[in-house]
Amino acid sequence: MGKGKNKAHEPKNGRPQRGANGHSSRQNHRRMEMKYENSDKVKFPVKLAMWDFDHCDPKRCSGKKLERLGLIKSLRVGQKFQGIVVSPNGKGVVCPDDLEVVEQHGASVVECSWARLEEVPFNKIGGKHERLLPYLVAANQVNYGRPWRLNCVEALAACFAIVGRMDWASELLSHFSWGMGFLELNKELLEIYQQCTDADSVKRAEEEWLQKLEKETQERKSQAKEEDIWMMGNINRRGGGWQSDESESGGSSGESESEGDKQCVEYDSLGNAICIDSINSRKSLSEESEDEENDLEENKEPVSYDSLGNLI
């Protein structure tokens, strides 16, 4: 048997070592090499950068995934960026007028947690073109449907989309399974921002959109309140709860209408509507039947029986 470097090393149990994915350690090593070789070939048309403060879960952090793909570069605290800096510390909003800066110098973001903004030294990062993002809704798995809570890749894609580079936005988001949903979710709003020019016009468009949302919310609340069945009360006690047969059949005579107007309604112990005329009619019928029985009793001839009980 060979010794030294040529010796085949096998585990004691005679089985090759396998990773969590079921492949051998050598196969996994080759897969990792191929992954990073392919990632080095991925190039983005403009420079992308971020200040990463390690606030997020590395498995869910979109910025770290872009870094693994070789699409974005991490900056140190103290470094400045020449392009657009999408930051909560920005004064104006991203607008189509920023296209030239984006195409020449790229864009950057601050990769941090929304709950820990006070820990970020904004005075030591950023650049000349710090920008806020206007109203947009997140589509990522952590903050889906929440306004303004965009993650790193969504912020960059929103910046590119607003300045008119939808191709760059789509290219970035294509690396995430939920990514294209961000553009679809904000399609109408992004088209409105793209039609603006400067930051002031984007801000006006944002305010109009928020007013529209507020109006729709109030309308839904008022409509839900009007249609609430618990606000309707007992429908048996509402006016017109009982109609005569003539009115239902479409009778047009004046007598039937006048009679229908005179009819009154009462309610039993369960709240059911009862017509007084029907009660009176039943009473009159019972009285007539009683009178007929009395007349029959008065007109009856006397009857006698013999000792055996036979009728005579």
Reported as a single tens digit per residue, the pLDDT across 128-187 is 999 999 999 999 988 899 998 999 999 999 999 999 999 999 999 999 999 999 999 999
pTM for this structure?
Answer: 0.60
Q: Looking at the domain assignment, is residue 79 inside a domain?
A: yes
The whole-angstrom separation of Cα 283 and Cα 34 is: 98
SS3 312: coil
**Sheet strands (E) in the chain:** 48-52, 73-74, 81-86, 92-93, 107-111, 127-132, 265-267, 273-275
Give the CB-side neighbour count of residue 145, counting CA atoms within 13 A: 0
Q: Looking at the domain assignment, is residue 245 inside a domain?
A: no
209 annotated to bind ligand? no
Buried b (16+ CB within 10 A) or exposed e, 237-255: eeeeeeebeebeeeeeeee
Q: Looking at the domain assignment, is residue 77 inside a domain?
A: yes
117 annotated to bind ligand? no
The whole-angstrom separation of Cα 156 and Cα 110 is: 10
Model confidence band, residue 102 (pLDDT cutoffs 50, 70, 90): very high
How many domains does the chain divide into?
1
pLDDT value, residue 73: 93
The terminus-to-terminus CA distance of the chain in angstroms comes to: 138
In this predicted structure, the answer to whether residue 251 has a pLDDT above a threshold of 60 is no
**Mean pLDDT calculated for residue range 86-98:** 91
Taking the CB of residue 13, how many other CB atoms lie within 10 A of it?
Answer: 7
Q: Looking at the domain assignment, is residue 294 inside a domain?
A: no
Instruction: Give phi and psi for 275, each to the nearest 5.
Output: -80, 135
pLDDT value, residue 260: 45
Q: Looking at the domain assignment, is residue 239 inside a domain?
A: no
Q: Looking at the domain assignment, is residue 53 inside a domain?
A: yes
148 lies in which domain range?
32-211
Q: How far is CA 103 from CA 50, 160, 163, 185, 297, in A?
A: 17, 10, 10, 25, 114
Q: Looking at the domain assignment, is residue 221 inside a domain?
A: no
Q: Looking at the domain assignment, is residue 259 inside a domain?
A: no
Contacts of residue 275, Cβ cutoff 8 Å, sequence gap at least 6 = 242, 244, 263, 264, 265, 266
**Mean pLDDT calculated for residue range 243-267:** 47
62 annotated to bind ligand? yes
**Mean pLDDT calculated for residue range 204-233:** 83
Model confidence band, residue 90 (pLDDT cutoffs 50, 70, 90): confident
- Check residues 263 and 108 and name the one with the higher pLDDT: 108
138, 179 contact by CB (below 8 A): no
Alpha carbon of residue 228 to chain centroid: 22
**Mean pLDDT calculated for residue range 59-71:** 89
pLDDT value, residue 19: 47
- Check residues 10 and 277 and name the one with the higher pLDDT: 277
Lookup result for tokens 């971020």: 50
Q: What is the largest CA-CA distance in the chain?
A: 141
Q: How far is CA 15 from CA 6, 7, 18, 121, 156, in A?
A: 19, 16, 9, 53, 48
230 annotated to bind ligand? no
**Mean pLDDT calculated for residue range 1-30:** 49
Model confidence band, residue 255 (pLDDT cutoffs 50, 70, 90): very low
pLDDT value, residue 164: 95
